[in-house]
Structure 1
Amino acid sequence: MTLTCLCGAVCVTTARRPEFIHACNCDMCRKAGARWGYFDPAEVEVSGPTARYQRRDKAEAGAEVHFCPDCGSTMHFRLTAAAVAKHGDVMAGVNMGLADDADLAGIELRYPDGKAWSGEGAFGFYRKPEVIGADAP
């Protein structure tokens, strides 16, 4: 998949479609306007300049969000150095909100309750998952 920001200055290419997508309700994800698909970092290629943000409302940020410095589109995230030291460089997130729903048809959209998540263990969910495009005519 090839995804671009609104102005076209940043492009993210993935080797495949995500297995599922998270529409998390935590402050960072909600305010970034992101629906995350998860990939091995080797499966994601980014071209173009990005600005970065690490949340400051947690003692230790786990992700660094990258966005286009021109149009502000949230593009992807990478784990912070602290998270990599703890878990390894095991994940990159790509904002699937940049894709057309038609390109995501058949993928499950999940709703993790990041707002209530302690940062340890599995997520709870704040609503039932749905399959993108399942209600399309």
Structure 2
Amino acid sequence: MTANCLCGSVSVTIDAKPDFIFDCNCSLCRKTGSAWGYFKPEAVTTDGETVGYARSDKTLAAVDVHSCKSCGATTHWVRTDAFRDTHKVNDMVGVNMRLFDPDLLDGVPVQFPDGKNWTGEGAFGFRRHGFTISETARW
């Protein structure tokens, strides 16, 4: 599946639907207007010029968030080397699933983690019940 940013300068291709989508309320997700699907790096291909941004309000930024250089639409994120090395985590890519037509995401669960109140330790709490994208429930 392939989606484009608003102006069409950047495309993001994924090899399959995500297992789930996180529609988080933390400041990063809220302010970038993103809802994330998570993938192994080899499952995502991007094409076009993006600019990256790593948070400066955290001691160790976990991701570089990429946006189209022309229209500013958030497209994806990649883990920072420093975070991956420090936390010994597997690499992954987050793709902004809001770029994709919801009709293409039929059957994918959407969850609503409470990132705003998450301390960074342990599992997320959730701020409301999720749902599965379908003909009757669009996100």
Structure 1 length-normalised TM: 0.95
Counting only pairs closer than 5 Å after superposition, residues 1-137 of structure 1 correspond to structure 2 as 1-85=1-85, 86-133=87-134, 135=136
- Return the letter of the residue paired with 2:106: A
Counterpart secondary structure, 1:130: strand
Q: C-alpha offsets along residues 85-126 of structure 1, whole Å, 9 cap, x if unaligned?
A: 023442100000001111111110000111111112211111
Please give the alpha-carbon distance, in whole angstroms, between the structure 2 residues aligned to 1:9 and 1:15.
Answer: 20
Normalised by the length of structure 2, the TM-score is: 0.93
> Unaligned regions of 5+ residues in structure 1, if any?
none
Q: Which amino acid aligns with 2:13?
A: T
Structure 2: give runs of 5+ residues left out of the alignment: none
Q: Identity over the aligned pairs, expressed in percent?
A: 48
Tell which deviates more after alignment, 22-31 or 83-92.
Answer: 83-92
- Give distance in 2, aligned partners of 1:66 and 1:87: 23
Alignment deviations for residues 48-89 of structure 1 (CA, whole Å, 9 cap, x no partner): 110011111111110110000100000000001112102344
RMSD of aligned alpha carbons: 1.1
